[in-house]
Amino acid sequence: MSNSSAIRVRFAPSPTGYLHIGGVRTALFNYLYARQQGGKFLLRIEDTDRVRSTPEFEQEILESLKWLGLEWDEKIEHQSARIDRYREVAKELVDKGLAYEQGDSGKVALTFRIPKTKVTFTDLVHGDVTYDSNEFDDLVIMKSDGFPTFHLAVVVDDHDMGITHIVRGDDHLPNTPRHILLYQALGWRPPKYAHLPLIMGADGTPLSKRHGAVAVSAYRSEGYLPEGLLNYLALLGWNPGTNQEILKMPELIKQFGFRRVVKSNAQFDPEKLRWLNGQHIRMLAGEDYEKRITDFWKTKGPLPDKDRWRKLITLYRPRIETFGKLMDQASYCFNEPEYKDAAMLQEIKSNQTSIGLLRQLFEILRDMGDFEDVHLLDQKTRQVVETAGLKPKDIIHPLRFVLTGGTASPGIFDLMSLLGKDACLKRLSAFIT
RNA sequence: GGCGCUAUCGUCUAGCCCGAUCUAGGACGUCACCCUCUCACGGUGAAGACACGGGUUUAAAUCCCGUUAGCGCCA
């Protein structure tokens, strides 16, 4: 009597576009449920739309799933390879008198005659849902071009693939009673259903390009972590029932359940995604962080020598929310500073006290060894202001401006060490002379 | 237009099933303060919500009905 058969779920994207945020969320929930239950997570490519489906999109979807770590089991099914099967099932329906031909002169569509009844099913997130099929029109299952409609194909595929739970977006909720009627007509047992709330844009309308990045690949190239994206998406429409928000994959798998899936649509909030991604960046083990941010950046151009690179990424770890932000914030490490704030430039240059301090500092730094010892830099710099009876920030702020061209940076002494003696002296002398 | 789903801070949500523990909890964002050489990180705190209207009940965010709104599917 035990639940002998393992659960089987599937993600069924159409290769008519990139894998987008909504698709990932659907894939994720399927994946989490499969892994938690020790079942199978299958992939099916719904490529019956011959004109809009492309191998490039399919490839992109697979790569995105791999990058996210949503690895599928068994071999990928393609609907395009199963056309004969759909025709066979459609014919069976016609033979049984449950579907009929419509159209003329060779161009016939096949239509399923909807039985007039009340259809009730138990959705894992919505509970009991009832539709009255008297409201339904008969359902076209084979188009006149000889290709199946979505409705026929999903039902046949899910049955043939042994799918036990269909986890998909709420937009399919109204299709479900029609599908169940098809299962019944075919003498098949319908699977269980779980309909997920939809992800909307910030204005409450369906998420689309005009809300910003929707393709997973865009997040990848901006330097988001799969962990961050997945964690955020998991929280969009689900929660663990505790106040914990930062969850890694093993925890998500362990704690996931349809019982805690929210019923209402959610707005995608890039701000919170960024925050969460920053949390995951800070949580990575040191070596892992180094490897991943390095892999990210080395594809984009030459990196500084290892020591300098290490210093840089260490100093910026608490300051970035995505890997992509690193070079934006630390551009002064690679380029001469741009003194864009003319007012501040003028203010510092005309302040004799500041210039005097910077000159003294220059002399001292010039006579030092390399800048490896951050504490020594700290000491020497503070001595300059102390003997002048001033505060550390009287030199630190101008110095920061000189070295970076701005007012925000990591700690000034770490920064000096990062830049190195040559660069510091060069920027200083250019400024004070 | 028909049918369906949904409705708690600006946003994501807890609480709703099993009414009293809710002067409604957490997080993002915002603001303030602390840390501090700046910016971050981290810490503390503040502002901020039960869509509306009826009912049931000693008592409703929680149950019921309606309205409204959003979304979805179909037309």
pLDDT tens sequence across A305-352: 999 999 999 999 999 999 999 999 999 988 899 998 889 999 998 999
Residue A270: per-residue pLDDT = 96
Q: Please give the Cα distance from A285 to A315 (Å, whole number).
A: 15
Q: What is the mean pLDDT of residues A394-412?
A: 95
β-pairing verdict for A99-104 and A266-267: unpaired
Residue A164: per-residue pLDDT = 97
Q: Using the structure block, give the residue that is written with the tokens 């359902």.
A: A139
Residue A4: per-residue pLDDT = 47
Nearest to A155 by CA among A144, A163, A147: A163
Residue A301: per-residue pLDDT = 87
Q: What is the mean pLDDT of residues A279-301?
A: 96
Listed in sequence order, the residues at least 6 apart from A326 whose beta carbon sits closer than 8 Å to its beta carbon are A223, A293, A297, A312, A313, A316, A320
Residue-averaged pLDDT of chain A: 94
Positions of strand B less than 7 angstroms from a protein CB: 2-8, 10-15, 25-29, 37-42, 70-75
What string of DSSP letters covers A258-322?
Answer: GGGB-SS-EE--HHHHHHHHHHHHHHS-HHHHHHHHHHHHHTTS----HHHHHHHHHHHGGG-SS
Q: Are A141 and A104 in contact (CB under 8 A)?
A: no
Cα first-last separation, chain A: 88
Checking if the pLDDT of A219 tops 50, the result is: yes
Confidence of residue A1 (pLDDT cuts 50, 70, 90): very low
Checking if the pLDDT of A105 tops 80, the result is: no
Beta bridge partners of A274: none
Q: What is the mean pLDDT of residues A158-181?
A: 97
Residue A74: per-residue pLDDT = 96
Checking if the pLDDT of A269 tops 70, the result is: yes
Neighbours of A310 (CB within 10 A): 15
Checking if the pLDDT of A212 tops 90, the result is: no
Nearest to A145 by CA among A50, A225, A78: A50
Q: pLDDT (tens digit, 9 = 90+) per residue, A65-86?
A: 999 999 999 999 999 999 999 9
Catalytic residue among A66, A209, A291, A426: A209
Q: pLDDT (tens digit, 9 = 90+) per residue, A125-144?
A: 999 999 999 999 999 999 99
Residue nearest to nucleotide B36 (CA to C1'): A411
Strand B at less than 7 A from CB of A22: no
**Annotated catalytic residue A96:** no
Residue A47: per-residue pLDDT = 95
Residue A410: per-residue pLDDT = 96
Q: How far is CA A73 from each of CA A42, A294, A408, rounded to the nearest angstrom?
A: 5, 30, 48
| Nucleotide closest to A276 measured between CA and C1' | B28
Residues 398-417, chain A, CB closer than 7 Å to nucleic strand B? 400, 407-414
Residues 35-94, chain A, CB closer than 7 Å to nucleic strand B? none
Q: What is the mean pLDDT of residues A146-170?
A: 97
Instruction: Return the CA Rg of chain A.
Output: 30
CA of A264 to C1' of B69 (A): 14
